[in-house]
Every structure is written in structure tokens, then in C-alpha cells.
Amino acid sequence: MPAKDAPAVSAQAADVKGAREAMISHCMPSDPAPGAAGRQADSLPPEGRAALRGGVAGNYADQFHIFLPLVALTPALPVLAGPHAGLVTGAMVVIAMLLGRPIGGMIFGRVADRWGRTRTTRLAIAGTAACTAAIGLLPAYDVIGPASIWAVLVLRFAGGVFIAGEYSAAIPLAMEWSRPRLRGLYSGLIMSMAPCAQASVAFGAAGLLAALGTGSYAAWGWRVPFLAGAAASLGMLAYYRRHVVDAPAFRRHRAAGSAAAPAGLREVMTGRYRAAFWQMFGLMTGLWLMTQMTVVALPGRLAADAGLDASSVPVVMGCACLAQAAVMALTGHLSTLLGRRRFFLLWGALAAIAGPGAFSWLMGQRTLGAAIAGAAMLQIVTVTAYGPVGAYLSERLPAVVRATGYGTAYSLSIVIPALYPFYLPALQRVLGVSGAVIGLLALGGVLVVACCAAGPALSPRDLECSVEELAARSERPAG
């Protein structure tokens, strides 16, 4: 750099530092009127309300795509993969998306931080719609042979990349638009769309099976939910193009981008933001462990251990997911009333203690009503802790790396928990069939407690500030 340019760069850096210090001091506890910026944002413009509605509806569409192969595709696997398709083929379809999601979070998170949240969301939605529609239109095994299931695997991997890109951009966008005092509530509404989508897929697939019969469903009926999911994504794409724009805070960040130091994935994972990132990663790993045990693996356990028939299991899971969604929508706002750290401490302890007990009780039930009650209680005391996650991950990092950190922490942390089919059998040989699940549930709760304890308090008073003010206050260069 030429020496004559050094004073200008130094002045820019000083301006950025001064702005950050002013932002931090604005929300310090000694400030007699914290959250003034939040009060000014109480009346959201139409674009802000549109971004919040898009965050809710968009996450429902995302989760619908994620859960489709777990329920809707399973009866049709022989049509796509041949008559010898089994559990291994189904697992490969799930793992394909699993591998795509961390890559999508890393790539599209960075794109969202540089190009803008709304533009990235539109790109990711278009990709998700294309991948899902292509699966719904694939020729069957008897037409193109093994190429059919290989195409499904490739499209699910690509779909995972795009889906992660969508929530990595759209949820931080919604949180940047949110009113400070309602940010937790909006987060809970957005995150509750995951169990709502799972219930929709479960009930929808069960309804199609009942209406069409197993043969017709396997022949062509399975395509209906995939094409419906693609159509829903196209509707979201039109909605974002017409109604949603980036939040003012992010537009100010882009306008000042020339003065900011470059930041990206390396800066998030190993640079100045690494402490916040790995703290979020650990907390999310705990939540994902509980998710795998209480949502993904539970249907098999209900059939094998609780003795429920194939028609009862979807009903139990659907009802439990609806109960989970109702409570999760409220836990986001509860975290605002209690403070984020206090909420996660309490809910993580509840999950570690009550989760194993609820699971043990559920495995002893033999009636449909008792199984529904047990599954609902199990999910309520564990995975409803996701309610504040959209807000919490957005509050921990500044705009320059917010989407990168959000998408990577949220997506990369799922890998180890989701590979439980490879290590759970070994744990079961040591701890017993139910003992291994109970141990992983307890471990998930402990991880949530330990990792949230390592983060900032984010008290109710703190949460009157905008996400930018919170990120500036909690930002601590590592090292």
C-alpha cells in the first residue's frame, strides 16, 4: 500500500472502531435508556413485515423438502431403486442431503454476507425448487435402471446445498428486520415450522397411501408431495422478488464495506470470531443430538419397542410434532423474558433430566393415546429449545459474517449427530438398547448447558437492542 494512502485507511478504521464503540456504549447496562434504536423500529415498514412472513413461510417450505424422503419417498424406493432397495438405500438418500447442507451453509452464507440476504434467498429458493421438481419428474427404475436412484442422490445433495443457503440468508434477514422485544417470538414462530412441516409430510403421505393404496402410491402417488413442494418454493420465490428487501442495517453495512476488514469462513472458524462460532457449534450439536433421538430415530423405536403398528406410528409422530410446534413458538419469546443464556441453561438441564425419563416412560406404552402423550412430552422437554435459535445465532455475530456464521454453525453441527446409525449400535452393546438413547439425550442437554454458559448473558435488558448492537457488544476478538 502506498504510504500516502495510509492516513486515509487509518481514518476509515478509526471511524469504524468509533461507530462500534458508540454502538456498544448505547446498550451498556449503565445506559439509562437502552434500546432506543429498538423503540424506533417498533413500527416496521411493509418490507420488514414481508421479510418476517417470508422467514416463517420459507422455513416451512425448507423443512418440507428436508422431511420428504423420510416419509414420502420410502414406500416408492423399489420403483426408483429397483426391487432390492432397502434401508441402506433410504439411508443414502438422507445422507446425501446431510452432506450438502454444511457445504450450502458455508457457500451461501458467505454469498449472503457479500451480495445481500434477499438476492441469496431468491437464488437458493430457485435451486431448491428445481431439485425437488426434478425428483418428482424422474423416470422410474424400469425405464432408466440404476440411473434413477443415482439421480435422486445427486439431486438430494444439490437440494441440501440450496436449502442450507436459503435458511442461512432468510432467517438472519428476518432477525435483522425484527423488533428487538419481539425477536425471540419471531424466532420461535420461524423455528416451529420444522415440526409443522414434518407433521404435514407425515399426515399427507398417510392420506395419500390411504386414498390411493400402496401400489398406486408407489407407482406415481409419491410424486405429488415432491411436485407440491416445488410449487410452494416457486410461490416463495415470487413472494421474495415482489415484497422483500434487505434490512437497513445490512444495507448500511454494505455501504460501509470498503472501510471494513475482509472477513469470511476462515475468520469465523479460526479468526477473531472463532470463540463465538465454536460456542454456537457446541450448543447446536447438543440440540441436534436430541433431535436425532426424539424425532428421526423415534418412529423405528415406536414400532420395534413400543409395538405400534405401521399405521399408528405416523399418527403418533404427527401429533407429537404439532405439540412440539405449539410450544416451540412460545419458547422463543420465553427466552426474551428470561434472557437467552438463562433460558438455555434451564431448558438444557430440563432436557438432560426429564428427557431420559420421558423416553423410558414412552417405551413402556402400548396404547395409541398414551404413545401420543409420551412422544409429545418427550419432544416438548427436549427439542422445543430450538425456539430462540434463529435469534440467538443472529445476535452472536455482526452483519459482515452473520449469515456465514449462522449457516455454518447450524448446518455443520448436524453431521456428527446425524451419523448416529454408525455409532449408536456400538453404544447399545455397552449401555443397552434404551440406555444408549438415554445417554445421548443426556449428553445433548449437557452440551446445551455447557455451551450456553460459555456465551454472553443476553439478558432481557440487553435484548432491547438491535442485532447489530448486541453483536457489537458481545464481540470479543479471540486470542
Answer for the pair 217, 208: CB distance below 8 angstroms, yes or no.
yes
Residues 170, 50: Cα–Cα separation, whole Å: 11
pLDDT band of residue 33 (cuts 50, 70, 90) is very low
Report the C-alpha gap between 213 and 467 in whole angstroms: 51
* Predicted local confidence at residue 415, as pLDDT: 92
**What gap in Å lies between CA 268 and CA 170, rounded to an integer?**
19
Percent of the chain with pLDDT over 90: 61
Residue whose C-alpha is closest to residue 455's, from 187, 275, 331: 275
What integer pLDDT is reported at residue 39 of this predicted model? 43
The 8-class DSSP code of residue 367 comes to S
Q: What's the pLDDT tens digit per position in 271-318?
A: 989 999 999 999 999 999 999 999 888 888 887 777 777 678 888 988
Q: What is the pLDDT of residue 34?
A: 41
Q: Is the pLDDT of residue 453 over 60?
A: yes
Q: What is the pLDDT of residue 445?
A: 97
In contact, 91 and 225? CB cutoff 8 Å: no
Angle, CA of 272, 274 and 278, to the nearest 5°: 165
What pLDDT was estimated at residue 74?
76
Residue 153: burial class (beta carbons within 10 Å; 0-12, 13-18, 19+):
middle
Q: What angle do CA 80, 86, 87 make, to 5 degrees?
A: 120
Q: What is the mean pLDDT of the chain?
A: 86
The confidence score (pLDDT) of residue 203 equals 86
Judge whether residue 351 has pLDDT over 60.
Answer: yes
Q: Which pLDDT belongs to residue 274?
A: 94
| Cell output for 144 | 432408466
Q: What pLDDT is attached to residue 4?
A: 43
pLDDT of residue 13: 44
Cell numbers describing residue 190? 420461524
Cα separation, 459 vs 285, in Å, equals 23
> DSSP assignment, residue 464?
G
Tell me the per-residue pLDDT of 381-431, one tens digit each, with 9 for 90 and over: 999 999 999 999 999 999 999 999 999 999 999 999 988 988 999 999 999
Residue 31 has pLDDT above 70, yes or no: no
> In the chain, what is the straight-line distance between the N-terminal and C-terminal CA atoms, in Å?
27
Specify the pLDDT at position 37. Answer: 40
Q: In the predicted model, is pLDDT for residue 163 greater than 80?
A: yes
Q: In this predicted model, what pLDDT tens digit does every residue of 201-254 receive, in sequence order?
A: 888 888 888 888 888 888 888 899 999 999 999 999 999 999 999 998 888 877
pLDDT computed for residue 201 by the predictor:
86
Q: How many CA atoms lie within 13 A of 266 on its CB side?
A: 2
